[in-house]
Structures are given as structure tokens and as C-alpha cells.
Amino acid sequence: MSNERLRQLAEAGVSIWLDDLSRERLNSGNLQELITDKHVVGVTTNPTIFAGALAKGEAYDAQVRELAARGASVEDAVREITVADVQQACDVFSGTWETSGGVDGRVSLEVDPGLARDTEGTVAQALDLWKAVDRPNLLVKIPATEAGLPAITRALAEGVSVNVTLIFSVERYRAVMGAYLDGLEQAAANGHPLAGIASVASFFVSRVDTEIDKRLEAIGAETDSAEALGLRGKAGVANSRLAYAAYEEVFSSDRWKALEAKGARRQRPLWASTGVKNPDYSDTLYVTELVVADTVNTMPEKTLLAFGDHGEVHGDRVTGTAGEAQEVFDALERVGVDLTDVFLVLEDEGVDKFEKSWTELGETVTGQLEGAR
């Protein structure tokens, strides 16, 4: 049965993507059920998700035994396992990709997080993954680090569709959009049809509140500031609304219109990290308050099911809210939150978390290969 609340969300123009993938989910038909019943039209993955999937269940046992039998290295095993899952997911979403004209039905696969500060290594792996998966509805995930920005441009210039991840600040988001336009211009010069290139920009939400709330509580405890404590839970949504205002500005520019005339697609904002971390907040906060057409919301299954159970769509909650959102950020600075430091910490932590998950993934595969041998 189609879920009515999620149907309303989709009809409001929000593409519902699942932030999870596993062999078990694929083989059991669960992913197809989410497409049919929950209006899911895409999937995002990351090293944490793959590490969790591999650590439990028996779905990977046969492939691990085959890899062990031919003496595959841990690096090759990780690559083959993740590529196989993403290929299968791309095939499951092929119908969605076709009926949406290539807008949705997308599956994301991330480059090795250890390359986040390595432009050349990121470009090489992005091209390799694009060829290895060999599906038109793939998105290669590249982090929006300073080294990642030129890699994004160069991958796009080669016709690779990209999901730019780990974006926390509006300033960095503007640089990401600039890298996208640069990439499209170079792709056109290289003879790639722009209509075949897709991209989303993953703007992280809940982690912003987690970091800023921690600082607001420290300020409130030290200064007895009611204003500081009253700002908790407001930064993540405000930050995203400011990002959307920047998106509207860039994608109404003459530079963009020239590319659009050549068939280019907009780089849609994707609201990432939308699972609520603080139990005091509504578990659908980062879905309900970020409803706006032509955006993506990628949700962990827990958030997806919560919205399907009791989420509410109150129409467009983003367009025209930049002034109100800026007031939140002005207040944050007024009470003493160092926003520049916040975004630096979040980016460093984001890269570090994914690197640790990648290491955990390698260790899990190492153990499984040794056991199979």
C-alpha cells in the first residue's frame, strides 16, 4: 500500500532517497518495496553504511569465499563488493531513472575518504568507479574539501555525474556550485552532452545543530544566557535555508542560463544528515522544515518510517525564508558562537568519521577473507 504522507512529500517536489544500502536489502526485495510503497526514488551510501552491512548477516558470504579463493587483496575485495551492491541497486532503480528523465533513480558510491585531501587521487578513483559500475544512474560521491573542489570540476568535465558530499557552510556550498558550473563548461568543451550529466550537492543538516547546540549550552552555562539556550535546534534548518537562497541566486544567473540552453541540469540541493540526533526535537524536523520543490531529502530508514507514520507536509517551508534564517545566524554570532570554527570542525570530523569507517570496512573484509581461506 502506498504511504499517503510520503506521497504528499513527493508531490511537494521532494525526491525521497534512502540513506542506506545492503546486499540483504537488495536480495530480500525490501528496496523494491520501499520504491513501491514509500515513494523512494534514490539511494545514498557511505563507508559507514557498507561497514555496517558487511558486519552482519550472510548475504556477502558467497562473494567473500570467491574473492578469497582467487587471492584478492582487501582493497580489491572492498571495491568489488561495494561496486556489486551499487550496480544491483542501479538496476533496481533503472525504471525510476527512465520515467523521471534521469532526474531520480540515482545511486551514490563514494571515493575512498582517505583521498579527501588528494585531488589527483580523487579524480583517478572517480573515473575508475564510473567505469567499474558502468551504469548511467550512478553518482560518484566526492567530498567538498578544498582538494575536492577541483576534483569535482575535473570529474564532471569527463562526463561523470557527481554527488558532492560533506557540505556544511554556505560559503563552501557557493564554491561547490562554482565547481559544478566550471565542470559543465569544460564538459561542453570536451564534447560531452550536458543532458547526460547529473549532480546533487549534499548539504548536511543535523550535524550543524549537534555542534552548535553543544556550544550554545556551554555559553548558556557560563553566562546564564537565555538567548543562547533559546537558539538550540535552529541553526541546522536556518543554515539550509540560507543555502537554498544561494542556490536560487546561482541558478538564475546568466552564466547558468547559457549552460541550461545547452541542455545542462541544475545541481539540486540534497538535504543530508536528516536523522534527528537530539531526542528533544521532532523526529521529522529536518524533513518537514525543509520541504521545497526540486530538492532531495536522503533519510535513514528510521526517519523515513517516522515521516510515513506521523510526518506532516505544510507546503514550501524554504522559499523566501533567507531573512529569517539570517537573523538566527546573527543571533548566534551575537551570543558568541564562532561559526567559522564550527564549519571547520564539522568538515574535519566528517572526513575523519568516514576514514574510520573505511578502515573498519577494510578490517571487516580482512577478517572475512581470512575466515574463508
Q: pTM of the entire structure?
A: 0.97
Predicted local distance difference test score (pLDDT) of residue 54: 87
Angle formed by the axes of helices 148-157 and 170-189, to 10°?
30
pLDDT value of residue 371: 86
CB 42 within 8 A of CB 93: yes
Q: What does the pLDDT read at residue 35?
A: 98
At the top level of CATH, which class does the domain 4-45+95-357 belong to?
alpha beta
Q: Which active-site residues does the annotation give?
A: 141
In this predicted structure, what is the pLDDT of residue 236? 98
CA-angle at 42, arms to 39 and 172, nearest 5°: 125
Kindly report, residue by residue over 152-175, the tens digit of the pLDDT: 999 999 999 999 999 999 999 999
pLDDT per residue rounded down to tens, the chain (373 residues): 899 999 999 999 999 999 999 999 999 999 999 999 999 999 999 988 998 898 887 899 999 999 999 999 999 999 999 999 999 999 999 999 999 999 999 999 999 999 999 999 999 999 999 999 999 999 999 999 999 999 999 999 999 999 999 999 999 999 999 999 999 999 999 999 999 999 999 999 999 999 999 999 999 999 888 999 999 999 999 999 999 999 999 999 999 999 999 999 999 999 999 999 999 999 999 999 999 999 999 999 999 999 999 999 999 999 999 999 999 999 999 999 999 999 999 999 999 999 999 999 899 899 889 988 7
Closest CA to 287 of 279, 124, 300: 300
Q: Which residues contact 72 (CB under 8 A, 6 or more apart)?
A: 80, 369
Question: Which of 105, 197, 198 has its CA nearest to residue 159?
Answer: 197
Nine cell digits for residue 338: 564562532
- Cα separation, 258 vs 243, whole angstroms: 22
Confidence at residue 55, expressed as pLDDT on a 0 to 100 scale: 84
- CB-CB contact of 319 with 244 (8 Å): yes
Length of the chain: 373
